[in-house]
Amino acid sequence: MKTLAIIGGSGLTHLRNLTVRERRVMRTPYGEPSAPMVYGLVGGHEVIFLPRHGHGHTIPPHSVNYQANMWALKECGVSDVIAVNAVGAINTALAPGTLVLPDQIIDYTYGRAHTFFGSHPEPVTHIDFTHPYCEALREVLRDGASRAGLALAPRGTYAATQGPRFETAAEIRKLERDGADIVGMTGMPEAALARELGLCYASLSVVANYAAGKVEGEIDLRTIERHLESGTTKARMLLEHAIPRLYGA
């Protein structure tokens, strides 16, 4: 039986269409998750919602306890995870407000607890990460976009950077040479930890701005907030149509 979790990022600190039934505080061997697990119903289907940055959006990307978050979701019986990520566009064809369904990721983060393996004496364990996102869940999201009548970029490479600062123009040029289409600060180690736990994980990325150097001037936070608002409205619509599909409706 499938149980879906939605991890909300910047711009999606709560689900307006979620009928809340319960909030559950979790403890894990890796500390506390970002917030209590919110149990509720979307269109009659049970969903667990977790705001990645805490309910008050107070946890910066490099300080998120990704291990605790993913472990807690697994303990709650979650099988599938849709992660919403705010990103900047390196590929200028992806205008602010665009929804992107990345199919690849490059990890540029450092100093984050990035694996569940190695903390106890045990044989060395390697996971296959050739395709970092769950294709079955990506298909559900593509179908949800189609049902909602929303445009969705069906693929792209996500560059995960450390944050919390934005990148320099030179760094963005490097990421572009590396093949990245979008850049964000929360994609890793979340995706890899989900794979280690056997969770079906996909990212729904919301383009909030053009990356540094892609347009004239500096990155404006008020403009980002405006694009995030419109982009997350689309993301909510997509989720409303995708969730029944995941549960076979």
Whether residue 101 contacts residue 144, with contact meaning beta carbons closer than 8 Å, is answered with no
pLDDT in tens, the chain (249 residues): 789 999 986 656 556 667 788 899 999 999 999 999 999 888 788 899 999 999 888 999 999 999 999 999 999 999 999 999 999 999 999 999 999 999 999 999 999 999 998 766 567 788 999 999 999 999 999 999 999 999 999 999 999 999 999 999 999 999 999 999 999 999 999 999 999 999 999 999 999 999 999 988 888 888 888 888 889 899 989 999 999 889 876
Domains of the chain, earliest start first:
4-114+130-246 (3.40.50.1580)
Q: Binding-site residues for substrate, please?
A: 185, 209-211
Provide the pairing of β-strand 182-184 with 157-160.
parallel
Kind and range of the H or E run holding 192: helix 190-196
Give residues with Cβ within 8 angstroms of 205, minimum separation 6. 84, 85, 86, 87, 99, 100, 101, 102, 156, 158, 182, 184
Q: Binding-site residues, please?
A: 10, 52-53, 185-186, 209-211
Rounded distance between C-alpha atoms, residue 204 and residue 4, angstroms: 14
- C-beta contacts of 75-79 below 8 A and 24+ residues apart: 75/26, 75/28, 76/3, 76/5, 76/24, 76/26, 76/37, 76/48, 77/3, 78/3, 78/4, 78/5, 78/48, 78/199, 79/1, 79/2, 79/3, 79/4, 79/199, 79/200
Kind and range of the H or E run holding 88: strand 80-89
Q: Binding-site residues for phosphate, please?
A: 10, 52-53, 186
pTM tops 0.85 = yes
